Amino acid sequence: MFMQINQLSPFISVSPQLTPNDIGVAASRGFKSIICNRPDQESQDQPSTTDLKEAAERLGLNWYYQPVVSGKITDANIADFTAIMDKAQGPVLAFCRTGTRSSTLWALSQAPRLSPEAILTTTKAAGYDLSAQHERLNTLNQSGQHLLFALERADFLGSKLDSSDGQVIAWNSYISELYFNQFQYEKALPWIVKSIRAIEHMEASDELGALTYKAGVLHYALSNYLESLEYAFKAIDIFQETKNKNQLATAYLQLGNLYYFLGSKVDAEEYYGMAKKYFIAKKDSFGYANCVSNIGLIKIDQKEYRKGIQLERQALPIILKSKSEIAAGNVYHYLSEAYLGLEIYDSASYFVEKSIISNTKTLYNEGLCIDYLIKTKIAFKAGNTAIAEKHLKTAQHFDSLHPNPESQKDILFLLSQLQGVDGNYKEGFKNFNKFYEIEDELRRSDNKLKLLALIAIVSLQSCENSDESLISDPNSLTEDLVDIENSYAKIETDYVDGDI
Q: Decide: 68 and 106 in contact? Cβ < 8 Å.
A: no
pLDDT at 486: 54
The residue with greater pLDDT, 170 or 73, is 73
Q: Decide: 374 and 348 in contact? Cβ < 8 Å.
A: yes
Question: How many angstroms separate the CA atoms of 175 and 159, rounded?
Answer: 11
Tell me the angle at which helices 365-381 and 405-421 cross, rounded to the nearest 10 degrees: 20
Mean pLDDT of all residues in 322-335: 87
pLDDT at 22: 92
pLDDT at 446: 46
Task: Name, of 89-98, 322-331, 391-400, 419-428, the range with top average pLDDT.
Answer: 89-98
pLDDT at 231: 80
Q: Quick check: helix, strand or coil at residue 63?
A: strand
CB atoms within 10 A of CB 271: 25
The residue with greater pLDDT, 152 or 3, is 3
Closest CA relative to residue 11, chosen from 397, 388, 355: 355
* Burial label, 293 (beta-carbon count in 10 A; 0-12, 13-18, 19+): buried
Angle, CA of 23, 29 and 35, to the nearest 5°: 45
Closest CA relative to residue 320, chosen from 369, 282, 357: 357
Write b or e for each residue in 139-171: b if 16 or more Cβ atoms lie within 10 A of its Cβ, otherwise e.
Answer: ebbeeeeeeeeebeeebeebeeeeeeeeebbeb
pLDDT, tens digit, 9 for 90 and up, residues 66-93: 999 988 888 889 888 988 887 888 789 9
- For the chain, the C-alpha Rg in angstroms (whole number) is 25
Q: Decide: 401 and 364 in contact? Cβ < 8 Å.
A: no
The residue with greater pLDDT, 257 or 73, is 73
314's CB contacts (< 8 A; 6+ apart) are 289, 292, 296, 484, 487, 488, 491
Report phi then psi at 344, rounded to 5: -100, 85
β-pairing, 6-7 with 12-15? antiparallel
Question: How many angstroms separate the CA atoms of 341 and 301, rounded?
Answer: 9
Encoded amino acid at 132, one letter: A
Strand partners, 13: 7, 93
pLDDT, tens digit, 9 for 90 and up, residues 126-138: 899 998 888 888 8
Angle, CA of 124, 125 and 126, to the nearest 5°: 85
pLDDT at 496: 36
Mean pLDDT of all residues in 246-253: 74
93, containing H or E segment: strand 92-95
Share of the chain above pLDDT 70, in %: 74
For residue 128, the Cα-to-chain-centroid distance in whole angstroms is 29
165, containing H or E segment: none
pLDDT, tens digit, 9 for 90 and up, residues 7-43: 888 778 999 999 999 999 998 888 889 999 999 888 8
Question: How many angstroms separate the CA atoms of 145 and 397, rounded?
Answer: 22
35, containing H or E segment: strand 33-36
Q: Decide: 274 and 293 in contact? Cβ < 8 Å.
A: no
Residue 198 pLDDT more than 80?
no
pLDDT at 192: 81
161 phi-psi bin (left φ>0, alpha ψ -120 to 50, beta other):
beta
β-pairing, 33-36 with 62-65? parallel
The 3-state DSSP composition of the chain as helix, strand, coil percent (nearest 5) reads 70, 5, 25
Closest CA relative to residue 91, chosen from 24, 22, 10, 6: 10
Residue 122 pLDDT more than 70?
yes
Q: How far is CA 12 from CA 15, 61, 98, 126, 446, in A?
A: 10, 14, 16, 11, 41
15, containing H or E segment: strand 12-15
Q: Decide: 292 and 484 in contact? Cβ < 8 Å.
A: yes
